């Protein structure tokens, strides 16, 4: 049997802890949302989101292909990276789950307010849009008849912690060097 600390064949040992996984989801601000088209081919977009009570909430307009695809088949996934967060790079979480489309005004208004608040709290992210964001005006731009809200419910996660991998690699390098001398 191969010692997994000396190669990358099995990276399960490099999982983010549940707390770090939640920290990443709470701080990334954008994720890759992935769905399948009619032919079953996966497609994705980078989108802003808000995490609430273990779910990921997003928005788009009805004419987007992702909305039509989710209406056909809610199976979907979200991918998060720590790049650009205070966690530093090298950490990721992929969530597999199902998405539901909401069109009711109460849900839309609730979500628009959360998204505007979340985006306005990121003035130091280097993005001119969020730096100068007026939350009330942003909600007005979002609130159109064609807009819907997406509620993604995760069913499984695949977390990865590059810091753990780096530590494991350093230990393996040290072991290799010791054996070579």
**How far is 116 from 121, CA to CA, in rounded Å?**
9
Within a domain: 42: yes
- The CATH number given to whatever domain includes residue 115 is 2.30.110.10
Mean pLDDT throughout 44-59? Answer: 96
- Among residues 84, 87, 86, 25, the alpha carbon closest in space to that of 57 is found at 25
Q: pLDDT tens digits for 120-178?
A: 655 455 555 555 667 888 888 899 999 999 999 999 999 998 888 777 766 666 666 66
Asked if residue 9 belongs to a domain, the reply is no
pLDDT score, position 1? 29
* Whole-prediction pTM: 0.84
In a domain, 52, yes or no: yes
Report residue 161: phi and psi, to 5°: -120, 100
In a domain, 5, yes or no: no
Burial class (CB in 10 A: 0-12, 13-18, 19+), 11: middle
State the average pLDDT over residues 27-43.
95
pLDDT grade for 180, boundaries at 50, 70 and 90: confident
Asked, for residue 96, whether it belongs to a domain, the answer is yes
Query: Between the CA of residue 141 and those of 11, 88, 112, 166, 167, what are the distances in Å?
Result: 43, 32, 10, 44, 46
Please check whether residue 101 lies inside any domain of the structure.
Answer: yes
- pLDDT tens, residue by residue, 62-108: 999 999 999 999 999 999 999 988 998 999 999 999 999 999 999 99
Residue at 130 is within a domain: yes
The domain total for the chain is 1
The 10 Å CB-count burial string (b at 16+, else e) for 99-122 is bebbeeeeebeebbbebbebbbeb
What domain range is 71 assigned to?
A: 14-180
Q: Is residue 6 part of a domain?
A: no
Cα–Cα dist 161/140, whole Å: 39
Q: Which helix (H) or strand (E) holds 79?
A: strand 75-81
């Amino acid at each position: 049997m191969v010692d997994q600390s000396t190669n990358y064949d099995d990276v399960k040992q490099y999982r983010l802890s549940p707390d770090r996984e939640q920290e990443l989801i709470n701080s990334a601000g954008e994720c890759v949302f992935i769905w399948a088209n009619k032919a079953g081919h996966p497609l994705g977009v980078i989108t802003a989101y808000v995490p609430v009570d273990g779910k990921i909430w997003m928005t788009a307009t009805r004419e987007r292909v992702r909305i039509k695809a989710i209406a056909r088949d809610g199976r979907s996934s979200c991918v998060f990276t720590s790049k650009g967060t205070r966690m530093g790079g090298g950490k990721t979480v992929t969530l597999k789950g199902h998405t539901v489309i909401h069109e009711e005004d109460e849900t839309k208004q609730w979500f628009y307010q959360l998204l505007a608040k979340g985006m306005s709290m990121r003035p130091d992210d280097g993005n001119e849009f969020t730096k100068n964001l007026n939350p009330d005006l942003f909600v007005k731009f979002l609130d159109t008849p064609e807009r819907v809200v997406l509620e993604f419910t995760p069913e499984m996660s695949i977390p990865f912690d590059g810091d753990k991998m780096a530590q494991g690699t350093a230990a393996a390098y040290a072991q290799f060097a010791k054996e070579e001398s």
